[in-house]
Amino acid sequence: MKRNFADWPCSVARATQLLGDHWVPLIMRDAVQGVRRFDDFQRSLGVARNILSDRLDRLVEGGLLERKSYQDRPPRSEYVLTEMGRDLFPVLASLAAWGDRWLDGGSGAPVALHDETRGHDMRASVVCAECGEPIRLADVEFRVGPGYPDEVDAHYDLRPRLAPSPQK
């Protein structure tokens, strides 16, 4: 990835900088399903070892995975989700629900998320935590947020298309 989106004034861009490569969502899918070891990721995804190694390094640097030694001779590590990595699971669940709706070829979800605690299959839905209503594009006005940097390179400044913030 040549460009650096990490300092763009946009959380989608910042997240994309970490996750943008098409292998990364699949590595994270494997990780939430319990895969931890390099060879298991490699077998599961059929990805070249150098690419997998690079993407795992990136996820460790980014804070989503933690490298833990499980064997000394020869030295072997496994990759364990951090709190930040586990917190991505709801995003993956909402992406999977979108795929279940639009890309299932009419045959239903290939993988079901079963809620063991409550005893039913989950249906991921993105709601507003303030009012509990589903988030819909039709309701949204995009505003300059509290964390919008004061100085932003003109070519990626979003302010011309955002509504002003009441606070800022």
Q: How far is CA 88 from CA 74, 83, 131, 151, in A?
A: 32, 9, 22, 29
Stretch near its own copies under the rule CB under 8 A, chosen from 53-61, 72-80, 96-104 = 96-104
Among residues 88, 68, 86, 85, the alpha carbon closest in space to that of 77 is found at 68
Q: Does 80 bind its own copies (CB under 8 A)?
A: no
Rounded least distance, CB 70 to its own copies, Å: 19
Stretch near its own copies under the rule CB under 8 A, chosen from 12-20, 53-61, 68-76 = 12-20
Q: Does 72 bind its own copies (CB under 8 A)?
A: no
Element (H, E) at 121: strand 120-121
Closer to its own copies by Cβ: residue 73 or 101: 101
Rounded least distance, CB 74 to its own copies, Å: 26
Q: Is 138 within 8 Å of 118 (Cβ atoms)?
A: no
CA distance 166 to 168: 6
Stretch near its own copies under the rule CB under 8 A, chosen from 22-30, 53-61, 72-80 = 22-30
Q: Which of residues 28-67 bind its own copies (CB under 8 A)?
A: 29, 32-35, 43-44, 46, 63
The 143-162 site mask, x for binding its own copies (CB under 8 A), equals: xxxxxxx-----xx-x--xx
Q: How far is CA 120 from CA 32, 94, 96, 114, 116, in A?
A: 19, 17, 17, 6, 7
Q: Does 95 bind its own copies (CB under 8 A)?
A: yes
